[in-house]
Amino acid sequence: MPDDNARLTTNDMQPFWMPFTANRQFKDNPRLLVEAKGMYYKSHDGREVLDGTAGLWCCNAGHGNPKIVEAIQKQAGVMDYAPAFQMGHPLAFEFASRLSAMLPGNLDKVFYTNSGSEAVDTALKIALAYHRVRGEGARTRFIGRERGYHGVGFGGISVGGIVTNRKFFGPMLAGVDHMPHTHDPKRNAYTKGQPEFGAELADELERIVTLHDPSTIAAVIVEPVAGSTGVLIPPKGYLEKLREITKKHGILLIFDEVITGFGRLGAPFAADYFGVVPDMMTVAKGITSGTVPMGAVFAAGDIYDTFMTGPDNAIELFHGYTYSGHPLACAAGIATLDVYKEERHFERAAEIAPYWQEALHSLKGTKHVVDIRNLGLIGGIELETRPGKPTARAFETFLKAYDKGVLIRTTGDIIALSPPLIIEKAQIDRIVSTIAEILPTID
């Protein structure tokens, strides 16, 4: 018989198949984080690591906020789990009411999921079912965007447009088309904030709609600011055009705000920041500041009302998750909203964003840098690709930054930055100066 205890040793890294990771490279030289507080992680070798990425775009309130920690601990002792099918618990309704009160326009219904990926697949299913209930069951097509990221479910990678996330997994959902992305470095390189050029790219949606016939299209889904593909900022007027075209043809518009939601742009949501209200919104990450996994779909009231027909005892939407509205997640979420409000995180993000912008753009002219873009507390620093070795230059920067005690993130040859909203000017300076110090040392 094998010795089970031998398999449980903490330094055996082989059983864990790590996500989105070069497993062999990592396990040869692991980078382990063992504690987190405020703006900092602590590594397994005892070093302090400044968090320039809010974990994975999610720890907006920083790490270990006492109020959020206490809420999670308390709820675990009161009730660890409650079923969400034909049952409920008070916190799920309280949290939904709190969220509804902060949503823009007519978005006022909350469907809980456990992640951004699940939120996207849920929104797509709601869109299909909504049109069918309305008697327009022919609306089965979706339109996404090149270089879009909408999680890793089959629906999300189908409407998404990142090649490496799609190429191994077959033909995806049928009937999906993609608009062109908005990245135009020839006209918009080193733009501070929204680019001036590119609103006309939204007109491509009109062409695609005409090609397929508007009566066959259920929804269009876009990230207001594309994050995981390398920080692509929407040109001025672009989102407004998408809203105009979708309304014209009776097509639902879905904003994927998994990254932009909960203060990342200095406003509650990108829909608030840009003044463009979609029909549905997907969120996760900042909804609990990353403390307990949770996601949600925010839907317009008229979408919900459309389903509320037939016998009262009939299930209106055959969809949901075992952990929808999990008690610990709801407790964490309520406390997170309190922290955002009491500590003015959204306002602080807006106030410090100009300093963040100027600090990032001070890297213009640094070796290998070919573009810099920013909005709110998001930044993208694009590096010239090493010939024959795409992604290598940025990944080496990531490794050297970690060695120097700064956590950054890379996607392709782009450094993507998204610090917690509690960041101070001195910490911005350290992130930027570390990158400035590293880049000249890389071939």
Q: Which of 398, 20, 54 is nearest to 258 (CA)?
A: 54
Strand ranges (E), 201-263: 217-222, 252-256
Structure-token match 């094998």, residue found = 2
22: which 2 tokens? 């070069």
pLDDT of residue 6: 44
Q: What is the 3-state secondary structure (H, E, C) of 396-413?
A: HHHHHHHHCCEECEEECC
* Sheet with 295-300: strands ordered across: 107-113, 295-300, 280-283, 252-256, 217-222, 141-145, 176-179
Q: Which amino acid is at 372?
A: I
Q: What is the pLDDT of residues 136-149, one digit of tens each?
A: 999 999 999 999 99
- The verdict on 252 and 397 lying in the same domain is no
Q: What is the pLDDT of residues 254-274, one digit of tens each?
A: 999 999 999 999 999 999 999
Band the pLDDT of 156: cuts 50, 70, 90. Answer: very high
- The verdict on 350 and 333 lying in the same domain is no
Phi, psi of 176 (to 5 degrees): -110, 135
pLDDT of residue 10: 57
Picking from 307, 342, 377, the residue at the C-terminal end of a domain is 342
The mean pLDDT of the chain is 96
pLDDT of residue 12: 85
Are 244 and 253 in contact by the 8 Å Cβ rule? The answer is no
Whether pLDDT at 391 is above 70 = yes
Whether pLDDT at 222 is above 80 = yes
Band the pLDDT of 429: cuts 50, 70, 90. Answer: very high
407: left (phi over 0), alpha (psi -120 to 50) or beta: beta
- The verdict on 74 and 147 lying in the same domain is yes
pLDDT of residue 310: 86
- The verdict on 301 and 407 lying in the same domain is no
pLDDT of residue 411: 95
Output the domain CATH number for residue 23. Answer: 3.90.1150.10
CA 240 to chain centroid, in Å, comes to 21
The distance in angstroms from the start CA to the end CA of the chain is: 52
Cα 352 to Cα 421: distance, rounded to the nearest angstrom: 9
Whether pLDDT at 2 is above 90 = no
- The verdict on 235 and 95 lying in the same domain is yes
Environment class of residue 351 by beta-carbon count within 10 Å: exposed (0-12), middle (13-18) or buried (19+)? exposed
pLDDT of residue 126: 98
- The verdict on 175 and 309 lying in the same domain is yes
Query: Dihedral, CA atoms, 354, 356, 359, 360, nearest 10 degrees?
Result: -110
- The verdict on 274 and 189 lying in the same domain is yes
Cα 301 to Cα 139: distance, rounded to the nearest angstrom: 20
Picking from 285, 307, 342, the residue at the C-terminal end of a domain is 342
Could you give the percent of the chain with pLDDT greater than 70? Answer: 98
- The verdict on 46 and 146 lying in the same domain is no
Q: What is the pLDDT of residues 396-420, one digit of tens each?
A: 999 999 999 999 999 999 999 999 9
Cα 127 to Cα 141: distance, rounded to the nearest angstrom: 10
DSSP string, 160-173: ---HHHHTTSTT-S
- The verdict on 289 and 224 lying in the same domain is yes
Structure-token match 């090649």, residue found = 163
Q: Which of 337, 227, 224, 232 is nearest to 273 (CA)?
A: 224
Q: Which of 355, 417, 380 is nearest to 185 (CA)?
A: 380
* DSSP three-state, residue 141: strand
pLDDT of residue 11: 67
Picking from 289, 321, 342, the residue at the C-terminal end of a domain is 342
34: which 2 tokens? 């063992």
Q: What is the pLDDT of residues 62-117, one digit of tens each?
A: 999 999 999 999 999 999 999 999 999 999 999 999 999 999 999 999 999 999 99
- The verdict on 405 and 301 lying in the same domain is no
Q: What is the pLDDT of residues 5-53, one digit of tens each?
A: 444 445 689 999 999 999 999 999 999 999 999 999 999 999 999 999 9
- The verdict on 351 and 402 lying in the same domain is yes
Phi, psi of 255 (to 5 degrees): -95, 125
Domain, as residue range, for 242 = 69-342
Average pLDDT over residues 375-384: 98
pLDDT of residue 16: 94
- The verdict on 92 and 199 lying in the same domain is yes
pLDDT of residue 190: 98
Structure-token match 């062999």, residue found = 24
Q: Give the total number of structural domains in the chain.
A: 2
Q: What is the pLDDT of residues 276-335, one digit of tens each?
A: 999 999 999 999 999 999 999 999 999 999 999 989 999 999 999 999 999 999 999 999
Whether pLDDT at 191 is above 60 = yes
Cα 59 to Cα 345: distance, rounded to the nearest angstrom: 12
Question: Rounded to 5 degrees, what angle do the CA atoms 15, 17, 21 make?
Answer: 140
Question: Rounded to 5 degrees, what angle do the CA atoms 151, 156, 157 make?
Answer: 90
Residues contacting 188, CB < 8 A, separation 6+: 195, 196, 197, 198, 235, 373
Output the domain CATH number for residue 183. Answer: 3.40.640.10
Cα 439 to Cα 105: distance, rounded to the nearest angstrom: 44
Average pLDDT over residues 218-236: 97
